[in-house]
Amino acid sequence: MITEDTKVLVDKGIMLPLMEEFYTIQGEGFYKGTAAYFIRIGGCDVGCHWCDVKESWDATMHPPTHIGKIVENAVSYSDTIVITGGEPLTWDMTILTETLKTQGCKVHIETSGAYKLTGVWDWICLSPKKMKLPTEEICAVANELKVIVYNAHDLIFAEEQAARVNENCILYLQPEWSKRDKVVPMIVDYVMKNPKWKVSLQTHKYLNIP
Q: Quickly list DSSP for 165-190.
A: S-TT-EEEEEE-GGGHHHHHHHHHHH
Average pLDDT (185-190) is: 98
Q: What is the pLDDT of residues 140-168, one digit of tens each?
A: 999 999 999 999 999 999 999 999 999 99
Assigned CATH class of 4-207: alpha beta
Q: Indicate whether 52 pLDDT > 80.
A: no
Give the pLDDT confidence score for residue 1 in this predicted structure: 63
pLDDT at 68 over 70: yes
In the prediction, which pLDDT does 122 show? 98
Binding site, annotated residues: 25-27, 40, 44, 48, 50-52, 84, 86, 127-129, 210
pLDDT at residue 207 tops 90: no
Share of the chain above pLDDT 90, in %: 88
The mean pLDDT of 159-182, rounded to a whole number, is 96
Q: Which residues are annotated as a binding site for [4Fe-4S] cluster?
A: 44, 48, 51
**Domain ranges for the chain:** 4-207
CA distance 100 to 87: 19
